[in-house]
Amino acid sequence: MHNPFVPETLEGWAILHLMYRVRWERLRGRSAAERERLAAGAARALAVPDAGSTALVQVLGHKADLMVICFRRSFDELARTQLALAQTELHDALEATTSYVSVVELGMYEMTAKIHQQLGAKLTPGSAEFERAFDEEMESQRQRVMGRLFLDMPRGRYVCFYPMNKRRGESLNWYAEAFERRAAMMREHGTIGRHYAGTVTQVISGSIGFDDWEWGVDLFAEDPLIFKKLIYEMRFDEASAKFAEFGPFYTGLQFSASDLPTFVNGGVPALT
């Protein structure tokens, strides 16, 4: 039964973030040609034969050296990719620091309320007819936004990833707020994000039941300062100022899999 007070969501790509520290001491004794061979093997393991895409990111700072972002059709495909990379020789020089599992998610606050209102005017909420009509309408909405659910990996040179929660404290609890209040706050939140359309691509993924936080956020841009400006401005909207809790941030430079040899040979890889 569809609860009118719980916003519906639409899901797309299954996403896996893998963060690694490179054990450079395990690579120094190898020739440049040998390191290139190891990199080529890893690149082949991350290639997508069917649907999906992979991003490689050189992470700035101490939290990791390399972040691998995988968009795949299912968790089974993510599992195959993770295992394929683990079987490569290069993986012997990679030390996992953290990971994150989620799925692309579009929140449907406005549409949930609209569908309940429209169907409730002619059908009995909770009835089999209502539930069937509701599912049909949600599938129609899913087809309408399929390009946002299964988007190509954004090609921005700079990438920022972070997980976040909505606060559930004793005095401020997002999930205890009325549906209309949550919808209004998310509307304000989305308005700010739309101001940055064309300069940053945001990929919001849901991780409730999958990982330690509730959502993951990936930002892609050609200017890293956009991340600072966008996130700073959003801190002032009510949904963030009162209810947002942020996890660790991972920021770096996206590069092409074909340039992985440059990275393992100690150069800054390019996005071509």
Which residues have a catalytic role annotated? 162
Q: What tokens appear for 225 in the block?
A: 């300062």
CA nearest to 64, candidates 26, 21, 16, 17: 21
Backbone angles phi, psi at 250, to 5 degrees: -125, 120
Residue type present at position 60 = L
Closest CA to 163 of 210, 212, 215, 206: 215
Segment holding 253, helix H or strand E:
strand 250-255
CA separation, residue 67 to residues 19, 122, 141, 238 (Å): 4, 51, 33, 31
CA-CA distances (angstroms) from residue 267 to 42, 242, 263, 264? 17, 43, 5, 7
